Amino acid sequence: MTETKIRTRFAPSPTGYLHVGGLRTALYNYLFAKGNGGSFILRLEDTDQTRIVEGATDSLLNALEWAGIEPDESPRKPGKYGPYVQSERLSIYKKYVDQLINEKKAYYCFSTSEELEESRQLQLKQGLQPKYNRKWLPEDMGGSMLRSEVQKRLDAGEPCVVRMKVPEKRRLRLDDVIRNIVWFEAETIDDQVLLKSDGFPTYHLASVVDDHLMEISHVIRGEEWLSSTPKHLLLYEFFGWEPPVFAHLPLLLNPDRSKLSKRQGDVAVEDYQAKGYSKESLVNFVALLGWNEGEGVEQEKYSMDELIEKFKLERVGKSGAVFNIEKLNWLEKEYIKATDNRILLQKIKPLLETALAEKETEMDRSTISSDDYLLAMIELMKERVNFVSEFVSFGSYFFFDPASYEESAVQKRWKENTPDLLSEFLSVLNDTEFKVDPLEEALKAFAQEKEVKNAALIHPIRLAVSGVSFGPSLYHMLEVIGKETCLRRIEKAIKTITVPTA
């Protein structure tokens, strides 16, 4: 027996941003293909022209590229592969629709939308599940419409659709990798439209034809497509094609187990991107939404390479996967802690550039943009930030003098004697080498001489230099920020901060 080559696809419709559920579908297809020496392709399903959103294709492609999910064949690489854009393949679908019509497996339907609606209402009133009433099913296909009537309308060029003829009594069996055996009763399935009056195929026809022509071995997609699958199985049967293996992924849920929705948080990959999440932690997080490595495996942090190695379709669960943002936040923090400072440096540089373009700084630009400075800052801050962007926002005092001072810290730490103490200490600092040990020694000796606690200096100095009451070790922070800036900021704070009245 020849072994089937693994080929998977992600087939988004360009109707908006990439949903995190879409990212998971793309990722699982990618991991499964890569882990089995196969290919992963990207196909844009744009046959519903009314739902296309301007810019959606670019935003989908950008989000996938950002996440590191590189298709082997994609519309991004025209000429080399693909392009797989359904609207550019209309003649292909038409050919297959004609085949089904000729073989009496599909038929033309001229029912107007008003007629369809009327029949729908009637069936609803009768307590029936609405289905097409088969008014246009021809006499030689088990219906009552005369072929001559069909021909007359066709010759007159009247708008029509093409519907598949679903067999009346049949049980259809789906062997799904994740959901095992699922049965469908053919009588519950409508005579699905395959070709619309605008000449575009519907999703059902286009996806079956393309999955076949593109030799897709495994269709891995969201559970919302499960109910469409019997129609697809019938189409494979009509064409005499071997269906691919199907795997329907569980729904993504909010923590209250309702379906993941925009109302309870962000659902677009670009929102997470904009909030500063790294692709590494988002991919790691999304991979765990429905998949685990095995019973009793404690590991939660996975790189893309590890995921490719370990991902198994059989280990995707059936039940809904809860989207727990705290876990994503934890992964992000863990990712930053574990990432090499030089890699963080590359991520921080563009963020800093943007910040410096937006705001004036009193500091020396070339110093604070230098690798040495940034690496020292990263080392101090990497245990403290939640996002890479926080190196620049939360750690803004490494780049900008504080514009204000944390109010509660002023209340608590800025005492009557603080301005005088700091003024005197400034001249000590001026003669001190700005390195951790001499700074610490100088501060302690000064506190002792003035008979005050170290804290009477430590807290106000931190507030003066950073504007806030928390952060890395004070002496390390002073060393990195440097003498000139620290002295300037302390002087400014003495002038600006008013001692709170008790």
Residues that bind ligand GLU (CB under 6 A): 11-13, 45, 203, 207, 221, 225
- What is d(CA 10, CA 243) in angstroms, rounded to the nearest whole number? 17
Output the CA–CA distances (angstroms, integers) from residue 432 to 24, 166, 297, 425, 439, in the order listed: 55, 87, 53, 10, 7
Residue closer to ligand GLU by CB (options 16, 482) is 16
DSSP-assigned beta bridge partners for residue 245? 218
Minimum distance, C-beta of residue 287 to ligand GLU, in the bound complex (Å): 19
- What is d(CA 168, CA 189) in angstroms, rounded to the nearest whole number? 9
Residue closer to ligand GLU by CB (options 48, 332) is 48
Assess contact for 32 and 229: CB atoms under 8 A: no
CA-based R_g, the chain, Å: 32
Minimum distance, C-beta of residue 207 to ligand GLU, in the bound complex (Å): 5
Residue closer to ligand GLU by CB (options 101, 233) is 233
Catalytic machinery residues: 262
Minimum distance, C-beta of residue 378 to ligand GLU, in the bound complex (Å): 40
- What is d(CA 4, CA 502) in angstroms, rounded to the nearest whole number? 80
Strands of the sheet with 39-42, listed across from one edge? 39-42, 7-10, 218-222, 245-249, 171-176, 180-185
162: DSSP letter: E
DSSP reduced 3-state for 235: helix
- Nearest in space to 165 (alpha carbons), one of 242, 243, 76, 237: 237
- What is d(CA 193, CA 106) in angstroms, rounded to the nearest whole number? 9
User: Hey, which bits of 125-283 come out as E strands?
Assistant: 161-164, 171-176, 180-185, 193-195, 218-222, 245-249, 252-253
Minimum distance, C-beta of residue 13 to ligand GLU, in the bound complex (Å): 4
Residue closer to ligand GLU by CB (options 56, 282) is 56
Minimum distance, C-beta of residue 254 to ligand GLU, in the bound complex (Å): 20
Residue closer to ligand GLU by CB (options 134, 204) is 204
CA of residue 134 relative to chain centroid, distance: 42
Burial status of residue 359 (CB atoms within 10 A of its CB: 0-12, 13-18, 19 or more): exposed
Assess contact for 17 and 56: CB atoms under 8 A: yes
What tokens were used for 78?
């025209």
Single-letter code of the amino acid located at 428: V
Minimum distance, C-beta of residue 249 to ligand GLU, in the bound complex (Å): 10
DSSP reduced 3-state for 40: strand
- Nearest in space to 223 (alpha carbons), one of 41, 57, 93, 28: 28
Minimum distance, C-beta of residue 204 to ligand GLU, in the bound complex (Å): 9
Assess contact for 211 and 9: CB atoms under 8 A: yes
Strands of the sheet with 161-164, listed across from one edge? 106-109, 161-164, 193-195
Residue closer to ligand GLU by CB (options 203, 475) is 203
Minimum distance, C-beta of residue 24 to ligand GLU, in the bound complex (Å): 12
Residue closer to ligand GLU by CB (options 74, 466) is 74
Minimum distance, C-beta of residue 101 to ligand GLU, in the bound complex (Å): 24
Assess contact for 222 and 248: CB atoms under 8 A: yes
Minimum distance, C-beta of residue 140 to ligand GLU, in the bound complex (Å): 33
Write the DSSP assignment of 403-458 as a string of letters: SS--HHHHHHH--TTHHHHHHHHHHHHHTS-SSHHHHHHHHHHHHHHHT--THHHH
- What is d(CA 124, CA 139) in angstroms, rounded to the nearest whole number? 26
DSSP reduced 3-state for 309: helix
